[in-house]
């Protein structure tokens, strides 16, 4: 299906394309001229949901502020050993 460019230079993105890409109101669009056509890259808006508590189930122990550097280093070493 073809669409017309409106008087303000606006173009409609087909509903099927918006739904398939999950594009909604508030998304940003980066436009890039490539040869004889335009590429559009859609960027979602920043989320507003809090991430606080997201990893609660994965935390095994409370670490004091003083012990944090050592705990972080142990965790990095463990992740390297697993890889």
- For the segment 5-58, what is each residue's pLDDT rounded down to a tens digit? 999 999 999 999 999 999 999 999 999 999 999 999 999 998 877 777 777 787
Look up residue 18 and give its two tokens.
Answer: 């918006």
pTM of the model: 0.52
Instruction: Give residues with Cβ within 8 angstroms of 63, minimum separation 6.
Output: 71
Residues 40, 28 contacting (CB under 8 angstroms):
no
């Amino acid at each position: 299906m073809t669409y017309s460019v409106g008087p303000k230079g606006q173009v409609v993105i087909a509903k099927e394309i918006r739904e398939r890409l999950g594009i909604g109101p508030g998304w940003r669009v980066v436009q890039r001229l490539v040869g004889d056509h335009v590429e559009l890259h859609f960027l979602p808006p920043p989320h507003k949901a809090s991430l606080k508590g997201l990893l609660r189930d994965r935390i095994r122990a409370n670490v004091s502020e003083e012990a944090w550097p050592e705990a972080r280093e142990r965790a990095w070493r463990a992740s390297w050993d697993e890889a």
